[in-house]
Amino acid sequence: MIPAFFPSELLAWTPFIDPLYSIYPDLDGWWLPLLIPVAFVVSLVFQGVKRPTLDGVLPATLWMTLKILFFMALICAGIQIFYVLVVPHTTTPW
């Protein structure tokens, strides 16, 4: 039996030619988790360039990925606090 996450439209889907959202509509809510693979690959390539040997590159990559995600969250929290607490007092009504 075909599982529910395997829609019949997948049969007509051509990878790299048709966008993924043509078979899985309204994927916009998934943009945030998509940051994790980017942070991981950026860390991996950076550590690969930086380190003299590739020994221990994976733990260093994971640690750097966590740091990137943590500081992104920190910046987001800072912007949110600024937006909620400061901006209402600085903007004038139209």
The reply to whether 56 sits near other proteins by the rule CB under 8 A is no
The yes or no reply on residue 26 touching other proteins (CB under 8 A) is: yes
Taking the complex as a whole, the smallest distance from the CB of residue 57 to other proteins amounts, in Å, to 8
Q: Are 44 and 35 in contact (CB under 8 A)?
A: no
Q: How many residues in the shown chain lie near other proteins by CB under 8 A?
A: 30
Whole-angstrom CA distances from 92 to 31, 43, 83, 84 are 33, 43, 14, 15
Compute the distance between CA of residue 40 and CA of residue 67 in angstroms, rounded to an integer. 10
Q: Which residues bind other proteins (CB under 8 A)?
A: 15-28, 30-31, 34, 37-38, 41-42, 44-46, 48-49, 52-54, 57
